[in-house]
Amino acid sequence: MTRSFREYAIPEFTGVSVPHISDKQVRSWRLRVPDLTTQDQLARRVEAEVSQINSVIARTEEFIALAKERRAALITAAVTGQIDVSGETS
């Protein structure tokens, strides 16, 4: 619930223990909508943010895939005796 709707609705509530508001009361509230220029600017900013987030997600997925490959290679090297994992020094 937005602050402006809350400020409109709270005085409209009826009921003692559980507040009630009718659909007619909700429909009578006027939603303020930014002008088209502002909407366009906001949409471009959101698109830029989403693009950055998608880029971070893609890089993270690449890192995870590389980490899995390295983990598998390390396990293979340990199992085949290519590296000593006993902790003993010679």
Q: Please tell me the predicted confidence (pLDDT) of residue 15.
A: 60
Q: Please tell me the predicted confidence (pLDDT) of residue 74.
A: 95
pTM: 0.57
Q: Please tell me the predicted confidence (pLDDT) of residue 41.
A: 98
d(CA 31, CA 25): 13
Mean pLDDT across the chain, nearest whole number? 87
Residue 26 has pLDDT above 90, yes or no: no
Q: pLDDT category, 48, cuts 50, 70, 90?
A: very high
Q: Please tell me the predicted confidence (pLDDT) of residue 51.
A: 98
Contacts of 48 (CB under 8 A, 6+ apart): none
Report CA-CA distances (Å) from 24 to 7, 8, 19, 21, 89: 17, 13, 15, 8, 81
Q: pLDDT category, 89, cuts 50, 70, 90?
A: low
The 10s digit of each residue's pLDDT in 56-88 is 999 999 999 999 999 999 999 999 989 887 877
